[in-house]
Structure 1
Amino acid sequence: MLRDRRIRPGVGLVAALAASALLLAVPPAAQGRRTAPTPAALAWPDAQRASLPAALADGTAYEPGVFLDARSSVGTAASRDGKSLRLLARAADGSVRQLRTLPSARNPSFQSLTVTGDLLAWFERTNGGLELWASGLGAGQTPHRVTADTGEARFYRSETDLVVADGRLRWVASGAGGVTEVRAVAVGGGPVEVRPMAGTWRLLTWPWITDGVADSAGARTLRDLVSGRDVAVARPRDGAIGCSAVWCRIVSLDADGYTRIELMRPDGGDRHEIAGDTAATEIVDVAPLDRFEVFARIGANSELTGNAQLLVHETLTRSTVEISPDAGGVFLRNGVLCWSTGSQETFVRHTLDLRTVS
């Protein structure tokens, strides 16, 4: 379900480690250990960014699910009378176009919104079950149900929970006996291909998949679903590890009990620390666009406000950039980073299109 996640210092595999930082103030000795990060406006002056109202013109609260660019998105809003939940395309000028509507009485949600080119795909959940839908984004396009044969689909709050590749929609589901089902169906519909794999796996960027989802230590193997090739992950002795096809993130605790976040290649090469002290992971996906690692630094007021300093480590330059000194509601989809500032009752959303960082 699309929902506000403003009070969420860390997610995914490493949440337990990162959450311990919430109770800690930044130690005085650590404050001078690192160079102050450069504000994003100075580091990336030409990157596309925007500030967006949290409500639509009709006064209803809008929850973005995926961004098309810094100003346009697809997301959800209740109808003014509260009787339905709408899936809307919100344009850069603030105008909206309704794609779908579901009665509130059916407890609806729109999940895992995914965009590839002009194609939008998503899951719809109601009391009647889970269905997969798709639509073109151009004017006059009509959404269509792709399939209701979704299996027991798994969701990890990752932008690869639903992947579009080679004209097919792909996701994973729980199978019998601890098996993961890698499912695929043509965008236009038809029979669902089910590929069983022993263990618990989740999709990455196509054609990669990773195991270790149910393992406290994290990933062991990356698998190419086209070639069948396995890549063994060089797991550290301590800490938890999660991987993309290009980078792995290691989260551990140092000798003083503070968080350490590192990146390395799956084979163990190019390992380097990107954050410590009261740093915490912010999103499930490791190094989106194979370039940016998003994290937060917990401050003295974070436990009270739910907000934190939002930072991005850029792997090409090995530099850290401050996105916001006081951010909440952080998520990243389709290369666009989104966060909010303000209180839970009154806030403004901000975006930065990382695809436009030169």
Structure 2
Amino acid sequence: MARARLIRPIALGIALLVGGSLVVAGPPGPSVPAVSAPPQRTLRQAWPAAVVAEADGTLADGTRYAPGIYLDATTSVGVAPTPDGTAQRVLLRTGAGVRELARVARDRYPRFTSFTADAGAVYWVESTATTTQPLQHRIWRAPVDGGAEGVPLTADTGDGEFPGGEHDLVVRGGRVSWAAAQGPDTAIRSVPVTGGAVSVTTVDGAYELSAWPWLQTATAARQSGRQELRNLETGARVTIVRSAAETVDCGPVWCRSIVSAGSGGDTSYAVLHPDGTGRRRVGGVDTFPATGAVALLDRFEPVLQTGTRSAYDSSHRLSLYDLRHDRLVTLADDTDEVLARGHVVWWRQGTTWRALDLGRLP
């Protein structure tokens, strides 16, 4: 039986148990005016030269476009239906126009996830299912330059799950790798970037891929035991230091911690190193992770801030927590959707997509 795994939520509503203490004071002294925290900086104030690229979410053919990955702030690969609605397409979109990379008929109920890019090519997972055919996955590759369309590399994905995380697919050394459940253990499967036979390496225990060559304990397995990072090349293991109340998601350098005190309690959202050091509080009850990726470029954590907005309002302020300078910077108000991968964070406001290349921030 396949090992059950949970898909990590993007916005976690979880909270911190706060202990109280009694302080005995003497007679009251002269009143001291309260000092307000300085206002949060805007993107322009923090990085005056930063450029946010904009693109209409509606293509010239009238279809709605959803980016799956940005290669830079103006070049993306994403999904849109055909104008007649009979198929879904994977498209490369640049300032010069749109090029189709692949299409799958709508009656196969296609879903495209887990986009990644490396060395002039983009990769993704196509998932399909019909009333007569169970769920199937195929891994695709397409060149970024030139006019060639995408090609499937393999459908031999094993019991892989592809929720759309940044490391669902990892490209390295001429191969595309992914993790698949294999009973209580994990199969690290890989295929050449040119296609061919799939190789399998079995690792004892339940893991998912992180930044290569690291694995981290699979989401479902974290609830019941030790959580760790494991190096596929050296065999090194790093135990993630956390309390029983914390929900922690890690990469090799930084972890994200959410702690909940339950109804009416305070929520603690922090980042820290896997060994428990370097903890910084990002926010409280009104601040949540904006994406599944942890500390992009080992520096930036995109966050959503609800503030005093109505519980019926699905829009949020998007901010960027800069670990280098220990500060929150406002990117945009009233965002409807936020994604991030690699060095780019992008968001939708109404029908407009906006993208920021974090690699260009000083």
TM-score, length-normalised on structure 1?
0.86
Three-state SS of the structure 2 residue aligned to 1:305 is coil
Q: For the Cα contact (< 8 Å) 2:100–2:149, is it kept in 1? A: no
Three-state SS of the structure 1 residue aligned to 2:78 is strand
Question: Is residue 354 of structure 1 aligned with residue 361 of structure 2?
Answer: no
When residues 212 and 302 of structure 1 are mapped into structure 2, their CA distance, relative to the original with a 3 A threshold, is: farther
Q: Deviations over 1:114-140 (max 9, x none)?
A: 111301111112236211111211113
Question: Is residue 37 of structure 1 aligned with residue 40 of structure 2?
Answer: yes
Deviation at 1:331, TM superposition (A): 0.5
Tell me the residue number matched to 2:107: 105
Tell me the residue number matched to 1:213: 219
Deviation at 1:225, TM superposition (A): 0.5
- Map 1:161-240 onto structure 2 (within 5 A): 161-176=168-183, 178-214=184-220, 215-216=222-223, 220-240=227-247
Tell me the residue number matched to 2:250: 243
RMSD (Å), alpha carbons: 2.3
Cα separation, 2, equivalents of 1:156 and 1:339: 19
Tell me which stretches of 4 or more aligned residues in structure 1 moved more than 4 Å: 31-34
* AA in 1 matched with 2:150: P
When residues 35 and 202 of structure 1 are mapped into structure 2, their CA distance, relative to the original with a 3 A threshold, is: farther
When residues 131 and 357 of structure 1 are mapped into structure 2, their CA distance, relative to the original with a 3 A threshold, is: same
Deviation at 1:34, TM superposition (A): 4.2
Cα separation, 2, equivalents of 1:302 and 1:338: 24
Cα separation, 2, equivalents of 1:44 and 1:357: 7
- Map 1:137-156 onto structure 2 (within 5 A): 137-156=144-163
Q: For the Cα contact (< 8 Å) 1:218–1:240, is it kept in 2? A: no
Question: Which of 53, 56, 59 does residue 56 from structure 2 map onto?
Answer: 53
Cα separation, 1, equivalents of 2:226 and 2:352: 36
Deviation at 1:218, TM superposition (A): 8.6
Count of residue correspondences: 331
Q: Deviations over 1:236-259 (max 9, x none)?
A: 342211111100111113696121
Cα separation, 2, equivalents of 1:264 and 1:162: 25
* AA in 2 matched with 1:105: D
When residues 219 and 144 of structure 1 are mapped into structure 2, their CA distance, relative to the original with a 3 A threshold, is: farther
Three-state SS of the structure 2 residue aligned to 1:290 is coil
Asked which structure has the greater CA Rg, the reply is 2
Deviation at 1:64, TM superposition (A): 0.6
Three-state SS of the structure 2 residue aligned to 1:199 is coil
Cα separation, 2, equivalents of 1:159 and 1:249: 15
Tell me the residue number matched to 2:75: 72
Deviation at 1:156, TM superposition (A): 3.6
Tell me the residue number matched to 2:340: 332
Cα separation, 1, equivalents of 2:226 and 2:187: 18
Question: Which of 312, 322, 328 does residue 330 from structure 2 map onto?
Answer: 322
Q: For the Cα contact (< 8 Å) 1:46–1:356, is it kept in 2? A: no
When residues 232 and 326 of structure 1 are mapped into structure 2, their CA distance, relative to the original with a 3 A threshold, is: same
Tell me the residue number matched to 2:19: none
* AA in 1 matched with 2:169: L
Deviation at 1:334, TM superposition (A): 2.8
Q: For the Cα contact (< 8 Å) 1:14–1:240, is it kept in 2? A: no
Tell me the residue number matched to 1:63: 66
Deviation at 1:33, TM superposition (A): 6.4
When residues 204 and 305 of structure 1 are mapped into structure 2, their CA distance, relative to the original with a 3 A threshold, is: same
When residues 52 and 14 of structure 1 are mapped into structure 2, their CA distance, relative to the original with a 3 A threshold, is: closer
Q: For the Cα contact (< 8 Å) 1:219–1:242, is it kept in 2? A: no
When residues 244 and 187 of structure 1 are mapped into structure 2, their CA distance, relative to the original with a 3 A threshold, is: same
Deviation at 1:302, TM superposition (A): 4.9
Percent identity between the two aligned chains = 32
When residues 243 and 218 of structure 1 are mapped into structure 2, their CA distance, relative to the original with a 3 A threshold, is: farther
Cα separation, 2, equivalents of 1:67 and 1:13: 19
Deviation at 1:12, TM superposition (A): 2.8
Q: Deviations over 1:99-156 (max 9, x none)?
A: 1111111111222111113011111122362111112111133422211101121124
Question: Which of 272, 280, 285 does residue 293 from structure 2 map onto?
Answer: 285
Three-state SS of the structure 2 residue aligned to 1:261 is strand
Tell me the residue number matched to 1:27: none
When residues 35 and 277 of structure 1 are mapped into structure 2, their CA distance, relative to the original with a 3 A threshold, is: farther
Tell me the residue number matched to 2:28: none
Cα separation, 2, equivalents of 1:33 and 1:174: 51
Cα separation, 2, equivalents of 1:125 and 1:61: 20
Q: Deviations over 1:88-109 (max 9, x none)?
A: 101124x100111111111112
Structure 1 unmatched runs, 5+: 1-9, 19-30
Cα separation, 1, equivalents of 2:69 and 2:86: 24
Tell me the residue number matched to 1:89: 92
Q: Deviations over 1:135-186 (max 9, x none)?
A: 211113342221110112112431111111111101111222x222211111
Structure 2 unmatched runs, 5+: 1-6, 16-33
